[in-house]
Amino acid sequence: MKDLQELSDAALVVAVGRYRQDALAEAYRRHAGSVTALARRLLGSENLAEEVVQEVFLHLWNAPDKFDPERGTLRSYLLTRAHSRSVDLLRSEGARKQREERDAKRTADAGYDLEREVWDLTVSEAVSTALADLRDEERSPIVLAYFGGYTYREVAEMLDEPEGTIKGRIRTGLHRLRGGLQAAGIGVEG
Amino acid sequence: MTEHQDIEELLGAYALDAVDPDEARLVEEHLVECPRCRAEVAAHREVAALLTSGTSDPVPDGVWDRIAADLGDTPTPVPIEVAFGERQARKTTARTRPARVLAGLAAAAAVVVVALMGAVLINQRTEIDDLRDEAAAPEADPVLDLLRDPTSQIVSLDHADGTTGARALVGGDGDSVLLASGLPDLGEGETYQLWGLPQGRESMVSLGVLGADPGQSEFHVEGGITTLAITREPGGGSTQPSSEPLVTGTLV
């Protein structure tokens, strides 16, 4: 058998499906760092972030069939789960209170600070370029929603724009970003 | 605006978990029946995941330890007692047939094939649990070796009515095991025999004589075998099948 390190992510999940703990360990070695970074950014709490990381990988162990390699990469699958779990925690009562204290006042200024943080988080130059190519009015809602964990309604309030406008800009912005990434030759298939 | 357009408008925000719970439910109900919107959500999520590409935080050691500790709760050890033949009455469940899935898709790129096998094989986890129960001995068992091998495939050999008569675990290197717990005992002077049909050929090659009460048998397939079949044969077996196959199964 090939070394686990040489297996594709998809083959690795097959091995996880066969109760191979070393395969799960390899998936963890490859992706736990990204999952941790996203959960930390969203939650701002070490303990909660660790909880999310644990939950994400245990879910992969218990339900490997939920990952469909035809629909995306393993990395994106794990990050999607981590994002949704983090946002759930964020929106639960206790956490919301803490966060509101942290953000004191949700304003457009908070959005600009967050954007600066995201530049630090986005290491890849091609991704930074694609993000920079977006119009501000599309970039800000995406950044606030994805990295801030805000709903589009909250984003609309922060940016003082109609809800429908923000909803639409998130969608067109993601489409445009995809185009930009494809043009840069990274990550996403046509 | 139609309801579909309303939901389409939400897809970007939904993909970023930026909708309210009632909106999320609306979108999810729609996604069940709309492949185009499912694809759009998947694409948005792929893009979102790329926003953090290159980012990786050190993970504290304790996290993996806690995950590993929880894995122990899942069933891993293999039962030692095995009773072949007692499972014959067990109802077989519908399961994914690799051949049928593959036939529906032009598997041009190797990547696609690998991905596809991933999906198919993962769905066989229940089947793996069954096979694990049937494995004879916990140590040095070829069945377990094959289950651990991600390149192996599970082939179900079915009767014409769809019930399963036997299952084969075919290794990537051709070393394989047949588990035939769903075939009735034969009388004296008869034997079961396993056959393989090489691609593009019309006559079967013998892969082994199984005896009158086949349980677990090892066999080997060379590349190019596309179909497995079991027939009833007289005495010590035949050089060519003398009757129609009782059960057949297709290799990917």
Q: Which residue of A has its CA nearest to B39?
A: A71
Label residue B122 by pLDDT band (50, 70, 90).
very low
Alpha carbon separation from B243 to A79, B44, B158, B165, B219 (Å, rounded): 55, 56, 16, 17, 21
| Class of the CATH domain delimited by A105-190 | mainly alpha
Q: Express each pLDDT in B196-231 by its tens digit.
A: 888 878 888 888 888 888 878 888 887 788 889 999
Position B231, amino acid: T
DSSP 8-state assignment for residue A107 = -
Residues 38-97 of A with CB under 8 A from B: 38, 40, 50, 53-54, 57-58, 61-62, 64-65, 67-73, 75-76, 79-80, 83-84, 87
Question: How is residue B28 written in tokens?
Answer: 């999810």
Mapping DSSP onto H, E and C, the string for chain B reads CCHHHHHHHHHHHHHCCCCCHHHHHHHHHHHHHCHHHHHHHHHHHHHHHHCCCCCCCCCCHHHHHHHHHHHCCCCCCCCCCCCCCCCCCCCCCCCCCHHHHHHCCCCCCHHHHHHHHHHHHHCCHHHHHHHHHHCCCCCCCHHHHHHHCCCCEEEEEECCCCCEEEEEEECCCCEEEEECCCCCCCCCCEEEEEEEEECCCCCCEEEEEEECCCCEEEEECCCCEEEEEEEEEECCCCCCCCCCCCEEEECC
Residue B110: is its pLDDT beyond 80?
no
A165 inside 8 A of chain B by CB: no
Q: Mean of the per-residue pLDDT values for chain A?
A: 85
Range name among A173-182, B6-15, B34-43, B80-89 with the lowest pLDDT average = B80-89
Query: For an interface test with B, which of A20, A24, A76 has the most B Cβ atoms less than 10 Å from its Cβ?
Result: A76
- What class has domain A1-103? mainly alpha
Question: Do strands B205-211 and B190-198 pair parallel, antiparallel, or not at all (unpaired)?
Answer: antiparallel
Q: Once rounded to an integer, what is the mean pLDDT over residues B14-38?
A: 95
ipTM for the whole complex:
0.90
- The model's pLDDT over A29-63, given as tens digits with 9 standing for 90+, comes to 999 999 999 999 888 888 999 999 999 999 999 99
Q: What is the pLDDT of residue B151?
A: 78
A43-57, A96-110, B150-164, B172-186: which range is least confident on average? A96-110
Query: What pLDDT was estimated at residue B119?
Result: 43
- Between chains, do A83 and B17 touch, taking CB under 8 Å as contact? yes
Of A109-113, B101-105, B144-148, which gets the smallest average pLDDT?
B101-105
pLDDT at B135 over 60: no
Q: Out of A162-171, B2-11, B147-156, pick the least confident.
A: B147-156
Query: How many residues are given for chain B?
Result: 252
pLDDT above 70: residue A4: yes
Indicate the pLDDT class of residue A109, thresholds 50, 70 and 90.
low
Token duo for residue B122: 């993962």
Instruction: Give me A104's structure tokens.
Output: 């004191």
Q: Average pLDDT in the B57-75 region?
A: 81
Of A143, A49, B16, A94, nearest to A102 by C-alpha is A94
CB-hemisphere CA count at 13 Å for B233? Answer: 20
Residue ranges of domains in chain A: 1-103, 105-190
Least confidently predicted of A58-62, A63-67, A186-190, B161-165: A186-190
Domain segments of chain B as ranges? 3-50, 98-250
